[in-house]
Amino acid sequence: MYKNFLSLILAVTLAACSSSVPIRNVPVYDKTGSAVGDGSSNSNVSSVDAMDSKSLPGMDLGPTGVARIVYFDLDSFVVKPEYQSLLNANAKFLLANPARKVSIEGHTDERGGREYNLALGQKRADAVKKALSVSGVPESQLESVSYGKEKPAVQGSDENAYAQNRRAEITYR
């Protein structure tokens, strides 16, 4: 009886929320408020190709040919010396382009608790941010954020996957 009552309430609610106006018959207006069509045809709409920002002229937001990922050892947020040239190249680009900003995203592998990994990811992002700042990049161009283990670069539970997920990514915006 109770299930039937809930089903009836759900059906009535869904019926009340439905619309009898077909989308195709809704008029379309431009920014000035003038009608530009009745919504029944898309003949004036050209197709758009999906492209990433690197394939659009002038839309590459960062330095070309420069890596943007710093990898870390297990349970570490120490930036290794081997990443100094990567950081220098990104710093040089940011100094030459003061309008550009970066988000430095800290990541961890799947091991460890959520809070621990968020804290470690933040320390990794902050370490890269500090390295760029020491190179002269103003703090106003830098933002650090942690994703912990929430956005793995590689799926898997082996050392190779873990190593690729322990990282900080420099993302230009």
Compute the mean pLDDT over every residue in the chain, rounded to the nearest whole number. 79
CA dihedral 12, 13, 19, 23 (to 10 degrees): -130
What whole-number distance in Å separates Cα of residue 23 and Cα of residue 26?
Answer: 6
Strand 102-107 versus strand 142-148 pairing type = parallel
Per-residue pLDDT for 3 more than 50? yes
**pLDDT tens across 33-62, in order?**
555 444 444 444 433 333 333 444 444 578
- Look up the pTM and report it: 0.66
Label residues 39-73 b or e (16+ Cβ within 10 Å = b). Answer: eeeeeeeeeeeeeeeeeeeeeeebbeeeebebbbe
As beta bridge partners, residue 104 has 144, 170
Which DSSP letter does residue 102 get? E
Contact yes or no for 63/97 (Cβ under 8 A): no
List 103's β-bridge partners, or say none.
143, 171
Q: Which domains does the chain have, with CATH numbers?
A: 63-172 (3.30.1330.60)
* Tens of pLDDT, residues 118-128: 999 999 999 99
